Structure 1
Amino acid sequence: MAKFRVKAFFMHEDEETAARNAVAAATLAEPEWTAGYVEGVIDEENIKTLIDKGLVVTPIEQIAASVTLPRGSVTTRSSLRDSIGDVAAAALLRSATAERPGALAVSVADKSPEAKILSIDTTRFQYYVVRLHGPLTEPRRAAIAAQGIALIERLKNSTYTARLNETGVRACATLAFVDTIRLYTDDETISAATRAVRGSAQPGAALHVLLHAVRLHRAEDLRTVVKWLRGLGRKPISAEGDLIRVALAQGGADVLELAKLPEVAAIDEILPARPLDRIACELLRIERQEGPGLDLEGEGQLIGIADTGIDDRHPDFAGRIVGISALGRPGDHSDPEGHGTHVAGCALGDGRQSNGEIRGAAPKAKLFFQSILDAKGRLGGLPSDLKRLFQEAYDRGVRIHNNSWGAFGYARYAPTSRDVDRFVYDNPDMLIVIAAGNDGIGVPRISGAQINADPGFVDWPSVASPATAKNALTVGASRSTRKKGGYSNLTWGEAWADRYPHDPLASQPVSGDENCLAAFSSRGPTEATQIKPDVVAPGTDIAAARSSRAPLFKFWGAWPNNEHYAFMGGTSMAAPFVAGCAALAREYYVTRANWPTPSAALLKATLINGTRHLTGADATAKLKGDPNFHQGFGRVDMAASIPSAMSPELKLAFDDTWKKPERTFKGTERFRYQIEVGDRLPLRVCLAWTDVGYKSVQNLLLLLVDNPARKKYVGNSDAAATYNVAGMIGDPKNNVQIVRIEPPPPGLYTIAVTAIDLVQPPQTFALVVTGDLRGELTAMP
Structure 2
Amino acid sequence: MSDNITINGKSVAVDDQKLDASDSGYILIRTTGEPLNRAQKLELATLGVKLQEFVGQNGQQLYLCSFENDSLERVRKLSYIDYANVYSQDFVIPDVLQSASTSMPTSAHAGQEASEQVEVDVLLHHDISTVSPELLEKIAKIARVDPSATTVSEDAASPVMVRIKAGAAALEQLSGLDEVRVVYPVLEKALFNNVARRVLGFEEIQERVAANYNYPRPDDGTSVRDMVGDEMAGAMKKDQVENSGLSAKEKEPILYDGSGQTICVCDTGFDMGSTTDVHDAFLERVKGLYSWGRPGNNETNDPDGYGTHVCGSVLGSGQHSSEGTVHGAAPAATLLVQSMFVRFNYATNAILGGYPQDLGQLFQQAYDAGARVYSNSWGTPMLPSTRIQRPYDAAASSIDKFVWDHQDMTIAFAAGNEGQDSDLNGTVSERSLGAEASAKNCITIGACESYRPDLTVAKSNAPYSYGTFWPNKYAKNPLRDDHLAENPEGVAAFSSRGPTAENRLKSDLVACGTAILSAKSRCEKYLTSVDKTGISADARYMYLSGTSMATPLVSGCCAVVRQALYNAGYEDMQGKINPLDKAVTELFPGRLGPYVPTIKNNPTSSLIKALLINGAVPIRGQYMPEYLPKELPEGLPNPHSGFGRVNIAATLANIKQTDYSGWTCDTIDEEKGKAFYMLTSVPLPQNVAEGDYYKPEAWGIKTLKVTMAYADLPGAALANDLNLVVVNVSQNKERHGNQSPGKEFAKASKDGFDRDNNVEQVVWPDLQGGDQICILVKPYHLMSEKVPFALVWKFT
Report the TM-score, using the length of structure 1 for normalisation.
Answer: 0.61
Confirm or deny that 1:378 pairs with 2:336.
no
Answering whether residue 262 of structure 2 is matched by residue 305 of structure 1, we say: no
Amino acid across the alignment from 2:545: G
2: CA distance between counterparts of 1:628 and 1:739? 14
Structure 1's 664 and 521: CA in aligned 2 closer, same or farther, altered over 3 A? same
The one of 677, 681, 687 aligned to 1:676: 681
Structure 2 equivalent of residue 55 of structure 1: 185
Deviations 1:106-139 (A, max 9, x none): xxxxxxxxxxxxxxxxxxxxxxxxxxxxx9xxxx
Residue deviations 1:348-381, cap 9 Å, x none? 1113345753221111111111111124642212
CA distance in 2, matches of 1:729, 1:438: 33
Q: Deviations over 1:12-56 (max 9, x none)?
A: 4779x999999989xxxxxxxxxx9999999xx9xx99x984227
Contact conserved, 1:619 with 1:631, CA < 8 A, in 2? no
The answer to whether structure 1 residue 484 and structure 2 residue 454 are counterparts is yes
Deviations 1:584-611 (A, max 9, x none): 1111111124344210000000001111
Change (3 A) 1:4 1:423: closer
Of 784, 788, 794, 1:760 maps to 784
One-letter amino acid matched to 2:464: L
Which position in structure 2 is the counterpart of 1:569?
A: 545
1:309 partner letter: G
Matches of 1:368 and 1:620, distance apart in 2: 40
Distance in 2, matches of 1:485 and 1:41, equals 51
Matches for 1:618-633 after TM superposition, within 5 Å: 618-619=623-624, 622=627, 626-633=636-643
Q: 1:741 maps to which residue?
A: 764
Match of 1:655 among 664, 669, 673: 664
**2:315 is the alignment partner of 1:348:** yes
Which of structures 1 and 2 has the larger relative contact order (alpha carbons within 8 angstroms, sep 6+)? 2
2:527 alignment partner, one of 552, 555, 565: 552
Kept in 2: contact 1:543–1:559 (CA 8 A): no
Residue by residue over 1:506-535, the C-alpha shift from the partner in whole angstroms, topping out at 9 and shown as x without a partner, is 232111011111111111111110001100
Structure 2 equivalent of residue 524 of structure 1: 498
Q: Are the structure 2 counterparts of residues 417 and 573 from structure 1 closer, same or farther at C-alpha, using a change threshold of 3 Å?
A: same
**Do the aligned residues in 1 keep the contact of 2:121 with 2:164 (CA within 8 Å)?**
no
**Any idea what the Cα deviations from partners look like across 1:430-476, whole Å, max 9, x if unmatched?**
010000111111125xxxxxxxxx71111110100211000000000
Counterpart residue number, 2:400 = 421
CA distance in 2, matches of 1:14, 1:762: 26
Task: Answer yes or no: is the 8 Å Cα contact 1:411–1:461 preserved in 2.
Answer: no
- The alpha-carbon deviation at position 642 of structure 1 amounts to 2.0
Greater Cα offset, 331-340 or 488-497: 488-497
Against the structure 1 CA distance between its residues 5 and 568, is the aligned structure 2 distance closer, same or farther, given a 3 Å change threshold? farther
Q: Which letter does structure 2 place at the counterpart of 1:391?
A: Q
Change in 2 beyond 3 A, CA 1:568/1:470? same
For residue 577 of structure 2, what is the aligned residue in structure 1?
Answer: none
Aligned to 1:97: none
The question of whether the paired residues in 1 share the 8 Å contact of 2:289 and 2:300 is answered with yes
Q: Which amino acid aligns with 1:675?
A: T
Aligned residue among 481, 494, 500 for 1:507: 481
1:703 matched to 2:642: no
CA change 1:52–1:613 in 2 (3 A) is: same
Kindly provide the CA deviation profile for residues 247-293 of structure 1, in whole angstroms up to 9, marking residues without a partner as x: xxxxxxxxxxxxxxxxxxxxxxxxxx936799899636542153236
- The equivalences for 1:9-158 within 5 A come to 10=119, 12=121, 53-55=183-185
State the partner residue of 1:262: none
- For 2:648 and 2:313, the matched residues in 1 are separated by 16
587-596 vs 555-564, which moves further: 555-564
Query: How has the CA–CA distance of structure 1 residues 667 and 553 changed in structure 2, closer, same or farther, with 3 Å as cutoff?
Result: farther
Alpha carbons of 1:677 and 1:352: their partners in 2 closer, same or farther (altered >3 Å)?
farther
Instruction: Tell me how far 1:771 sits from its aligned partner.
Output: 2.4
Give 5+ residue unaligned stretches, structure 2: 1-98, 105-115, 125-136, 146-162, 200-211, 218-223, 242-250, 345-349, 383-388, 573-601, 684-699
- Whole-Å separation in 1 of the counterparts to 2:187 and 2:327: 39
Instruction: Kindly indicate whether the alpha-carbon contact (under 8 Å) linking 1:674 and 1:751 is maintained by their aligned counterparts in 2.
Output: yes
- How do 1:292-331 residues align onto structure 2 when only pairs under 5 Å count? 292=252, 294-311=254-271, 313-330=278-295, 331=298
Q: Hey, what does 1:472 align to over in structure 2?
A: 442
Classify the secondary structure of the residue corresponding to 2:610: helix
Q: 1:701 to 1:281 in 2, by over 3 A?
A: same
Alignment of 1:714-733 (within 5 A): 714-718=736-740, 726=749, 728-733=751-756
Q: Is the Cα–Cα contact under 8 Å of residues 275 and 357 in structure 1 kept in the other structure?
A: no
Match of 2:232 in 1: 287
Change (3 A) 1:692 1:4: closer
Contact (CA 8 Å) 1:5, 1:40: kept in 2 or not? no
Question: Given that residues 276 and 358 in structure 1 are in contact (C-alpha distance below 8 angstroms), is that contact kept between their aligned partners in structure 2?
Answer: no
Q: What's the counterpart of residue 691 of structure 1?
A: 712
Q: Deviations over 1:81-118 (max 9, x none)?
A: xxxxxxxxxxxxxxxxxxxxxxxxxxxxxxxxxxxxxx
What residue identity is the alignment partner of 1:653? G
Q: Quick check: 278-287 or 630-639, which moved more?
A: 278-287
- The answer to whether residue 620 in structure 2 is matched with residue 637 in structure 1 is no
Counterpart in the other structure of 1:112: none
Question: Distance between the aligned counterparts of 2:754 and 2:216, measured in 1?
Answer: 37
* Residue in 1 that maps onto 2:511: 537
2:255 partner letter: D
Structure 2: which amino acid aligns with 1:477? A
Alpha-carbon contact 2:291-2:340 (below 8 Å) kept: yes
Q: Distance in 1 between matches of 2:391 and 2:745?
A: 22
Name the CA shift for 1:511/1:375 in 2 (closer, same or farther; >3 Å): closer
Rate the CA distance shift 1:18–1:527 in 2: closer, same or farther, 3 A.
farther
The Cα of 1:612 is off from its aligned counterpart by 1.1
Quote the residue 2:203 is aligned against: none
SS across alignment from 1:713: strand
CA distance in 1, matches of 2:357, 2:743: 33
Q: How many angstroms apart in 2 are the aligned matches of 1:53 and 1:666?
A: 35
Code of the aligned partner of 1:321: V
Q: By how many angstroms is 1:565 displaced?
A: 0.7
CA 639–359 in structure 1, closer or farther in 2 if over 3 Å, else same: same
- Structure 1 residue 742, shift from structure 2 partner: 2.6
Structure 1 counterpart of 2:410, from 431, 434, 438: 431
Separation in 2, partners of 1:18, 1:494 = 54
Q: Deviations over 1:716-763 (max 9, x none)?
A: 112899999958532110000001123432223210111111122211
Q: Residues of 2 paired with 1:653 and 1:705: CA distance?
A: 15
- The alpha carbon displacement at 1:388 in A equals 0.6
- Aligned partner of 1:512: which letter? E
Give me the whole-angstrom Cα distance separating, in 1, the residues matched to 2:255 and 2:774: 32
**In structure 2, what is the equivalent of residue 770 of structure 1?**
794
Contact 1:315 1:353 in 2 (8 A): no
Shift of 1:633: 0.8
Tell whether the 8 Å contact from 2:741 to 2:763 is kept in structure 1 after alignment.
Answer: no
Q: Give the secondary-structure state (helix, strand or coil) at the position aligned to 1:657.
A: strand
- Size of the aligned set, in residue pairs, is 537
- Cα offset for 1:559? 4.2
- Unaligned 5+ runs, structure 1: 26-35, 59-134, 136-154, 161-187, 192-272, 445-453, 773-781
Task: Give the aligned CA root-mean-square deviation in angstroms.
Answer: 4.3
Quick one: distance in 1 between partners of 2:740 and 2:186? 33
1:609-624 aligned within 5 A: 609-619=614-624, 622=627
| Structure 1 residues 538 and 156: alpha-carbon distance in aligned structure 2, compared to 1, 3 A threshold | closer
Q: Distance in 1 between matches of 2:470 and 2:611?
A: 36
Cα distance, 1:399 vs structure 2: 0.6
Look up the match of 2:373.
Answer: 400
Structure 1 window deviating more from structure 2 (717-726 vs 411-420): it is 717-726
Q: Normalising by structure 2, what TM-score?
A: 0.60
* 3-state secondary structure, aligned to 1:605: helix
Residues 493 and 430 of structure 1, relative CA distance in 2, 3 Å threshold = same
